């Protein structure tokens, strides 16, 4: 049976309209799960990120995944999506039951949006918890902006650690200290608290459990039970060694 030219054009028109509708639906779905259209008070990614890419958006991803470097490792915040970043993405995806493909696509970005507040801190931690010394973050061993940034990275490490411990509360007794605040509490002259990345933990889980778990979340400085002056808390920092003899560390 023959088909008229008019009928053929109608069929082509309907097919094009269907394709346009499908494309629009797909875009809406992406926007709802992590594209540039996603409303977020802190930071919004505008593309899917994968190994080989570079840019500030990659660095923003690395900050939020700094707690997923693996045992005795630290994730670089260099804006380069290399094998270490891909592995951190996979660990994050596994932790939250996402498809573990190592690609920071809409689902992974959407989960990160859920985990951060509008000031870029993770939902379970705040700048106030990391600084009971002063409101300006000044007077330490680094600039106020650097101390504040270091504290932010520590919070994202703690967020990952909290998840690994079963989403239990983690109690912080001390964070950033100026030189005067550090002196007032008898802190070491080279304390990581002066740099903004030092964090002291108390309460539960047990000190040994905290110290042992911290080894997987980017903390190079872990001091706990058995180390002089640390039987009543666990100290975590970005630089230094591990020593918690009573916990096998």
Which residues are tagged catalytic? 230
Number of H helices, E strands in the chain: 8, 5
Which residues have CB under 8 Å from 86's CB, separation 6+? 50, 51, 102
Which residues have CB under 8 Å from 82's CB, separation 6+? 51
Task: Identify any residues that bridge with 16 across adjacent strands, giving them in sequence order.
Answer: none
Name which of 162, 169, 47, 164 is nearest 94 in CA terms: 164
Q: Show the tokens assigned to 237.
A: 């920092």
Pair 217, 237: CB distance under 8 Å: no
Q: Helices 56-64 & 83-95, crossing angle to 10 degrees? A: 50
**Strand 221-223, strand 199-202: pairing:** unpaired
- The Cβ of residue 178 has, within 10 Å, a number of other Cβ atoms equal to 21
Q: Show the tokens assigned to 69.
A: 């470097």
Indicate the DSSP class of residue 199.
E
Cα dihedral value 147, 150, 152, 157, nearest 10? -150
């Amino acid at each position: 049976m023959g088909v008229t030219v008019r009928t053929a054009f109608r069929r082509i028109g309907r097919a094009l309209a269907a394709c346009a509708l499908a494309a629009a639906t797909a875009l809406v779905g992406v926007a709802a799960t992590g594209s540039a259209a996603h409303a977020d008070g802190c930071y919004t990614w505008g593309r899917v990120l994968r190994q080989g890419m570079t840019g500030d958006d990659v660095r923003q991803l690395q900050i939020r995944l700094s707690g997923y470097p693996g045992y005795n490792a630290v994730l670089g915040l260099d804006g380069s999506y290399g094998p270490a970043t891909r592995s951190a993405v996979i660990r994050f995806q596994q932790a939250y039951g996402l498809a573990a493909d190592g690609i920071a696509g809409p689902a992974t970005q959407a989960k990160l949006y859920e985990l951060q507040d509008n000031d870029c801190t993770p939902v379970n931690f705040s700048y106030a918890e990391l600084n009971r010394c002063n409101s300006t973050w000044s007077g330490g061993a680094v600039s106020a902006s650097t101390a504040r940034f270091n504290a932010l990275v520590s919070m994202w490490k703690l967020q990952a650690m909290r998840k690994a411990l079963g989403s239990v509360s983690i109690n912080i007794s001390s964070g950033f200290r100026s030189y005067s605040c550090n002196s007032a509490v008898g802190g070491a002259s080279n304390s990581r608290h002066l740099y903004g990345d030092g964090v002291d933990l108390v309460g539960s889980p047990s000190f040994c459990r905290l110290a042992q778990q911290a080894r997987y979340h980017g903390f190079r400085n872990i001091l706990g039970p058995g180390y002089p002056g640390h039987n009543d808390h666990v100290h975590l920092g970005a630089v230094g060694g591990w020593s918690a003899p009573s916990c096998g560390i």
